[in-house]
Structure 1
Amino acid sequence: MLEVILGFITFFTSTITAIVGLGGGMMLIAIMPSFLPINAVIPIHGLTQLSSNISRAFFGYKDIQYEVVPKFLIGSLLGVGLFASIVSLISLEYVPLFMGAYILLSLWSSKFNDKIKKFENYYLIGFFQSGLSIVVGATGPLAMTLLLKDYKDKNKVVVTAAAIMCITHILKLIVFMYFGFVFFDYIGVIIAMVVGAIAGSWIGTKLRDKVDGKKFTMILKVILTLLALKIIIGTII
């Protein structure tokens, strides 16, 4: 029964992400602690999201903007290497607060964007998104915020985000396997969630074409804003 419930929840969240590019992953990671031990949430979420992102990138491979991938990969390798080595040594309690603030300012403050433009790039986004994913779980809004600035076509934004998120989740899973997490202990749940994720990606890809470009941008900005506020409030409370 647990497998069926989590499979359907993953299908729903994966469909949402395939339509607008994000949101589903953060919904899923917020729901999973009600069903799974807390130590299993981030690694299983990472594996599920990897299947969701791979399938979403596969279904829309023609829209991937490959020029950003090597930059993001280099930043990700450095970020995961650093954060994996220091995660047990420092407190990362307030990191999500800065993440949320960056997303909000980047979306709505032209002055902030003018000042940060010379520092904002895919090397840096990869470094923080992949590095922080080890402890925060769902860091996709970081890359999505930059992609939304660089590309106006909704398919390019969603599918490129999926491609680079694959890098984040692969590196994260390697770290969890290195630290001894046994995925096979949850094989039934994982299979159900992976099937749900792939099915959701397929349905969401079909539905994305029905969303108007301007509406898509506004919907995405609203979702990013709500997620950023959730991150900030969750850190403070």
Structure 2
Amino acid sequence: MTVHELGILAVASGCAFALAMLSAVAGFGGGVLLLPVFTALFGLRVAVPMLTLTQLSSNASRMWLNRHHLHRPLVGWFALGAVPLAIAGGLLLAHAPLGPLKRLLGVFLIGVVIWRRLNPHPRRPGDRTFVAVGAASGLGSALLGSVGPLTAPFFLAYGLTRAAYIGTEAASALTMHLSKIAAYGAGDLLTRKVLLYGAALTPATLAGAWVGKRIVGRISDRLFVLLVEIGLLASGALFLAGG
């Protein structure tokens, strides 16, 4: 690597560590916040598959750290919708108009927080609802790199918090990211540069997830939900600003 490339890697590693730690605390958000950073450093078409490789290690570590609290049936229902749509979205990435989709998602995320505040005790979704949640997440994530905040309101309304929420969401996302990797490979998006940087950022991602796990055990359920809602608002604003 050149000195310039090493400098870019150092910046990307620092961001990956900080945002993996955020994801480990709030259950999501790292991917959404990393996307504009990676896009500025590498360009959107490289940033999305690179982000997926980074998220693969981040979600795997969060799932393992919270493995005793997983709600496995939800993971199965989520994967049923996420896997086929993630593959379809991954194959469409090279040609899809991303701007309008990002703006629509930004409006949706901000609207979700408003809706939660107006309806503090929403109806608990059924297990099969997560097939549709997974399908929407799989398609959006394959095109945008990360839509973790899209799933947050549904897992929260189901009653999952802290370790159960973080582990179950991470395991669900892992099925989606593995499908995306397969689709990106089929679409020739997994270039040598993407694979090299993805592997180089993995240690920082794992370290951030471990530190975040140490933090989340020290906060209350009420504060946890508040952090998630703040993350939803921030993610929605970033999608609107970047759309």
Query: Which TM-score band applies after superposition, normalised by the shorter structure?
Result: 0.7 to 0.9
The within-5 A match list for 1:102-141 is 102-109=108-115, 110=118, 121-141=129-149
Matched, 1:20 2:52: no
Decide whether aligned partners of structure 1 residues 56 and 105 sit closer, same or farther in structure 2, where only a CA change above 3 A counts: same
Give 1:131 shift: 1.2
Aligned to 1:156: 164
Give 1:197 shift: 0.6
Give 1:186 shift: 4.4
Aligned with 1:55 (options 23, 47, 61): 61
Identical-residue share of aligned pairs (%): 18
Q: 1:90 & 1:17 partners in 2: Cα distance?
A: 27
Under a length normalisation based on structure 2, what TM-score does the superposition of the two structures give? 0.85
Aligned to 2:3: none
Greater shift, 218-227 or 44-53, is seen at 218-227
Q: 1:27 & 1:90 partners in 2: Cα distance?
A: 21
| C-alpha contact (below 8 Å) 1:50/1:170 kept by paired residues | yes
Under a length normalisation based on structure 1, what TM-score does the superposition of the two structures give? 0.87
Aligned with 1:165 (options 159, 168, 173): 173
Greater shift, 203-212 or 183-192, is seen at 183-192
Give 1:63 shift: 1.3
Matched, 1:179 2:183: no
Q: Which amino acid aligns with 1:78?
A: P
Matched, 1:229 2:224: no
- The number of equivalent residue pairs is 235
Q: 1:89 & 1:24 partners in 2: Cα distance?
A: 25
> Alignment partner of 2:42: what SS?
coil
Unaligned runs of 5+ in 1: none
RMSD of aligned Cα (Å) = 2.8
> Alignment partner of 1:94: what SS?
helix
| C-alpha contact (below 8 Å) 1:12/1:200 kept by paired residues | yes
Decide whether aligned partners of structure 1 residues 39 and 149 sit closer, same or farther in structure 2, where only a CA change above 3 A counts: same
